[in-house]
Amino acid sequence: MSRGPTGDEYRRGRDVERERDDWAVSGRYRPILPVIWGIGAVLFLVVGWFDVRAALAVVLVTHLFFAGLIRADIKSLRRQGVDWGHSRHLWFGAAFTLPFVALAYYWYSGRVVRRENDARGVRDGGDTAESVRT
């Protein structure tokens, strides 16, 4: 007997195949990343004119924020049945140290979501999902 996900468990393998619906996968926090990155870049440039330590504080805070958003987005995608493997740890860890990881994650997760939706036979139409199969 197979039970649904409880607590920290994720749906994987045959459970996902058996229970697969024709609903589109979407990253919950993915659209926020480029906005936050742009705001952080502007704050870094403006604050950098006045104080270097304040600019480094902006970088630290935005990287912590990116790491949290990337972790939350990967968790939401995994709950929807997307298998990330161990690369999820690399994305999360790199968000702490590298400035362009958030934009790279935005691009990569878009490809993952598109690939998963194609595999499910669903087209993402914004807020609504339309089935491709007839």
pLDDT average per 10 residues of sequence, the chain (134 residues): 50 56 80 90 90 89 90 91 84 83 92 88 54 38
User: What 3-state DSSP class applies to 123?
Assistant: strand
> Which residue has 């004119």 as its token pair?
49
DSSP 38-105: HHHHHHHHHHHTT-HHHHHHHHHHHHHHHHHHHHHHHHHHHHTT---TTHHHHHHHHHHH-TTHHHHH
Whole-number pLDDT of residue 100:
83
116: nearest Cα among 77, 60, 67, 58: 77
Whole-number pLDDT of residue 23:
79
Whole-number pLDDT of residue 70:
92
- Domain ranges (residues) in the chain: 30-118
Q: How far is CA 121 from each of CA 21, 89, 97, 113, rounded to the nearest angstrom?
A: 10, 28, 37, 12
